[in-house]
Amino acid sequence: MFDSEFEQNLFDLRRAKLAEIEKLGESAYPNRFAATHTLGAVRGHWGEVQAAELDAGRVTVAVAGRIMAIRAQGKAGFATLQQEGQRLQIYVRLDAVGEQGFALYKLLDLGDHIGVAGYLFRTRTGELTVHVERLTFLSKAMLAMPEKYHGLADLELRYRQRYVDLFANLDSREVFVKRARLLKALRRFFDERGYLEVETPMMQQIAGGAAARPFKTHHNALDMDLYLRIAPELYLKRLVVGGLDRVYEINRNFRNEGISTQHNPEFTMLEFYQAYANYHDLMDLTEELIRFVAMEVNGTTLTTFNEAEIDLGKWERLTMREAIVKWWPENSGSPRPALEELHAPDKLRGWVEDLRAIGKQIDYTDGEPAGKTIANIFEAVAEDFLIQPTIIYEFPTAVSPLSKQKPDEPDWVERFEVYIGGFEIGNAFSELNDPVEQHRRFEQQLAERQRGDEEAHQMDEDYVRALAYGLPPTGGEGIGIDRLAMLLTGSRSIRDVILFPLMRPEKQEPASSSPLPG
RNA sequence: GAGCCCGUAGCUCAGCUGGUAGAGCAACGCCCUUUUAAGGCGUGGGUCCUGGGUUCGAAUCCCAGCGGGCUCACCA
């Protein structure tokens, strides 16, 4: 537990202080405190009230908090309490709290939790302060607080010891408060529109609904291998078959992939499905949704991300093919393609080579479906430019095994992705509901798997059977909640919006470092 | 998985053309009854991430490892 002799010594010292506190008749670990107000409520009610008014009609309060600063001055002293991200100063003087009370004050340390009762006043410098008449000890900090001015700056420590980060860096706390508001806003948005919130299996025998490598686990009693889900998609559509016309789920997905500023192995996904809707309906709904949650979380649709001003209320829509043409690099060996050339692409290989020649990274293997190449070209050419909210629609069928084809262009599907800040935050389509076609698509995916694509979709016979009972025309969408939270809070890294991001283990501590004596 | 950068006191950071460590905050002692990054006087605190190597001598130079950050790849 201890990182050093310093910490061990401090811990021992604080234990001795706790013993002193008990000698004063206080409990070392009391079990409650009857506060009349939170610190935020005190600020809310009396934050603007003038000194004269406070002196005229004495306001008494009982409040609790953690000591974040303490300034002793002989026979008096100040401290700053913090609670729920709010701060309030207290003033303790010998002649107000008595010998016992002041002895307790002198035994307090930074980080301790205390409760105080007293009346409000303003100091000479105008700061709203509780003039303490009774001091109650609540809990001791046995370890040293971070530096009071800079807070905890070390990113590794902030992620590993989020419990310190949260009280030491109020900016960090604010991110997670906003994240909670985001979740609440999402639920309100869908609840108000008649969607039912559901929970589907996170342990699945077939990891389907997305292209990703899964985590594997094992159930002992059934002696059965299971995958942690990579998406809830196939279960949610089974529910629409079952007559739950509008469903949504907000929960974790798990993907056994690399970690980056935009990827955490477990991440939160919103998926929703709506019977009788197609992908155009979902485009409208998506714009409305993003606008709504931005207003609920920030009170504005404007946000700053990676030094870019983004308006989450202003949207552009482009087909994937239009986006490729629009953002085609001027300096590539190939001239900007015409839109028609992307309808029947026979120049793909040359394009890939020319784009690679100017430094674009594009996966390409001989014999891969044309649609796969086009999708990769799109990501290489256009993605970085999609900073303002943009809907990219019409995707190649080859990379969309669960989407419905366009009636007039069977190589393309009714699908769109939502791009903001240069990365994808959502993916939606008119759901493929023809069981025969779905079975054929799964078989195509199996062929891709044979060619070595580990992320190609697996066959799910039961899902095809569900479709055979009849899935109404349905639109479905998934939105990455962590990424949306990044945009709304201006966080550059996904780790800044996940309370406990996955970290490598630190070196094992020797077992002898127990805080207990003997 | 690859490239670049970082790791010094509990925290925030100096020191890095090699001569075995400093500051501020925090801690401890003393003074101070309206301070607020309170102030004053004094004290203690470090396997300089780990392990090798070069050298008379390494926090500093070299190699390897561990942990972290960023970029790229995979993906959302």
Please give the average per-residue pLDDT across A484-504, as a whole number. 95
Distance between CA atoms of A263 and A438, rounded to whole angstroms?
Answer: 30
* Nearest Cα residue to A399 out of A385, A388, A413: A413
Per CA to C1' distance, which residue is closest to B73?
A: A361
Three-state secondary-structure class, residue A112 = coil
Please give the average per-residue pLDDT across A1-29, as a whole number. 92
Question: For residues A14-48, b (16+ Cβ closer than 10 Å) or e, as one string?
Answer: beebbeebeeeebeeeeeebebebbbbbbeeebee
Checking if the pLDDT of A262 tops 60, the result is yes
Strand B nucleotides where any atom sits below 7 Å of a protein CB: 1, 9-13, 24-28, 31-39, 44-47, 66-76
Per CA to C1' distance, which residue is closest to B39?
A: A73
Confidence of residue A507 (pLDDT cuts 50, 70, 90): low
CA A210 – C1' B2 distance (Å)? Answer: 27
Report pLDDT for A216: 92
Radius of gyration of chain A (CA): 29
CA A46 – C1' B4 distance (Å)? Answer: 53
Per CA to C1' distance, which residue is closest to B67?
A: A506
Nucleotide in closest CA–C1' contact with A150: B12
Nucleotide in closest CA–C1' contact with A483: B76
- H helices present in A24-65, as ranges: 39-46, 51-56
Report pLDDT for A513: 40
Please give the average per-residue pLDDT across A454-464, as a whole number. 91
DSSP element (H, E) containing A430: strand A423-430
Please state the separation of Cα A447 from the chain's center in Å.
36
Report pLDDT for A514: 42
Nucleotide in closest CA–C1' contact with A379: B75
CA A4 – C1' B48 distance (Å)? Answer: 15
CA A331 – C1' B54 distance (Å)? Answer: 49
- A260, β-bridge pairs: A263
Question: For residues A403-432, b (16+ Cβ closer than 10 Å) or e, as one string?
Answer: bbbbeeeebbbbbbbbbbbebbbbbbbbbb
Nucleotide in closest CA–C1' contact with A131: B34
Report pLDDT for A509: 44
Tokens 């910490």 -> residue = A7
Nucleotide in closest CA–C1' contact with A160: B68
Nucleotide in closest CA–C1' contact with A121: B34
Please give the average per-residue pLDDT across A107-130, as a whole number. 97
Report pLDDT for A273: 98
The residue length of chain A stands at 518
CA A486 – C1' B24 distance (Å)? Answer: 34
Report pLDDT for A13: 95
Nucleotide in closest CA–C1' contact with A158: B68
Please give the average per-residue pLDDT across A209-216, as a whole number. 91
CA A220 – C1' B30 distance (Å)? Answer: 66
Total Cβ atoms within 10 A of residue A292: 18
Please give the average per-residue pLDDT across A48-71, as a whole number. 96
Please give the average per-residue pLDDT across A145-154, as a whole number. 94
Q: ipTM of the assembly?
A: 0.92
Query: Residue type at A4?
Result: S
Distance between CA atoms of A376 and A382, rounded to whole angstroms?
Answer: 10
CA A306 – C1' B72 distance (Å)? Answer: 18
CA A505 – C1' B67 distance (Å)? Answer: 9
Per-residue pLDDT of A289-337, as tens digits, reads 999 999 999 999 999 998 899 999 999 999 999 999 999 988 888 889 9
Tokens 């003038």 -> residue = A50
Report pLDDT for A364: 86
When the pLDDT of each residue in chain A is averaged and rounded to a whole number, the result is 93
Per-residue pLDDT of A155-174, as tens digits, reads 999 999 999 999 999 999 99
Report pLDDT for A343: 77
CA A8 – C1' B2 distance (Å)? Answer: 42
Nucleotide in closest CA–C1' contact with A261: B70
CA A493 – C1' B68 distance (Å)? Answer: 14
CA A487 – C1' B38 distance (Å)? Answer: 40
Please give the average per-residue pLDDT across A274-283, as a whole number. 98
Per CA to C1' distance, which residue is closest to B25?
A: A147
